[in-house]
């Protein structure tokens, strides 16, 4: 059974009594969080894409304690995908894309398997948090608006707390597309 609660801090909590899902959605006015669109517009013109079938170089870079890795066994579509580095307690692993963009969208597939409520995947555009997830969330395609023309910085980050690990303890990303 999933319960929904809203505290005085503007945070909406969705949690499963069986601890399979813990998703916190913060009030847009408080943190500027964008809610992802899960059914991407298939008619939008793709101006750039990455399916992680070749080694990464420019415009990609890594942040945190360990770089992201290719994964042949977890992709949503059969080809390789990329996953956060295998980190330990109190460490982070970030994947950064810097790209010249027009106004449009960035869409990608993501899957999360982590200790619910503690080990967290976050996605940022130009430093602004767009989504935050922990727990078990299967492959979903999500889309976020690109509102700034010019160079944009997109970061996928996985962060661990100091103690336990659950699930596969990572986030996977695949088939990143920028559209206009």
- 170 vs 41 pLDDT, higher one: 170
Put residue 28 in one of left, alpha, beta given phi > 0 → left and psi -120 to 50 → alpha: alpha
Identify the CATH assignment for 40-179 out of 3.10.110.10, 3.30.1130.10, 2.60.40.3470, 2.60.120.200. 2.60.120.200
Q: Identify whether 59 is preceded by a cis peptide bond (ω within 30 of 0).
A: yes
Partners of residue 6 on adjacent β-strands: 12
68 and 60 in contact (C-beta within 8 Å)? no
Q: What is the pLDDT of residues 142-151, one digit of tens each?
A: 999 999 999 9
Strands 128-146 and 60-64: unpaired
Share of the chain above pLDDT 70, in %: 77
Quick one: pLDDT at residue 28? Answer: 33
Partners of residue 108 on adjacent β-strands: 142
Calpha distance 69→66 (Å, rounded)? 9
Straight-line distance from the first to the last Cα atom of the chain, in angstroms, rounded to the nearest whole number:
40
Six token digits for residue 87: 């980190």
- pLDDT > 70? residue 15: no
Calpha distance 81→70 (Å, rounded)? 6
Q: What is the pLDDT of residues 158-168, one digit of tens each?
A: 999 887 777 78
Quick one: pLDDT at residue 122? Answer: 98
């Amino acid at each position: 059974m999933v319960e929904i609660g809203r505290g005085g801090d503007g945070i909406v909590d969705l949690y499963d009594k069986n601890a399979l899902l813990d998703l916190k959605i913060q009030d847009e006015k408080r943190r500027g969080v964008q809610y992802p669109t899960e059914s991407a517009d298939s008619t939008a013109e793709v101006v750039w894409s990455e399916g992680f079938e070749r080694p990464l170089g420019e415009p990609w870079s890594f942040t945190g304690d360990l770089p992201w890795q290719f994964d042949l066994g977890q992709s949503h579509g059969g080809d390789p995908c990329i996953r956060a580095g295998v980190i330990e307690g109190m460490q982070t692993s970030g994947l950064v894309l810097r790209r010249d963009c027009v106004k449009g969208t960035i869409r990608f597939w993501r899957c999360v398997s982590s200790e619910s409520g503690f080990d967290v995947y976050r996605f940022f555009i130009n430093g602004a948090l767009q989504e935050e997830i922990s727990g078990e969330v299967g492959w979903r395609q999500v889309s976020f608006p690109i509102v700034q023309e010019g160079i944009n910085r997109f970061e996928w980050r996985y962060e661990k707390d100091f103690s336990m690990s659950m699930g596969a303890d990572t986030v996977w990303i695949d088939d990143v597309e920028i559209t206009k």
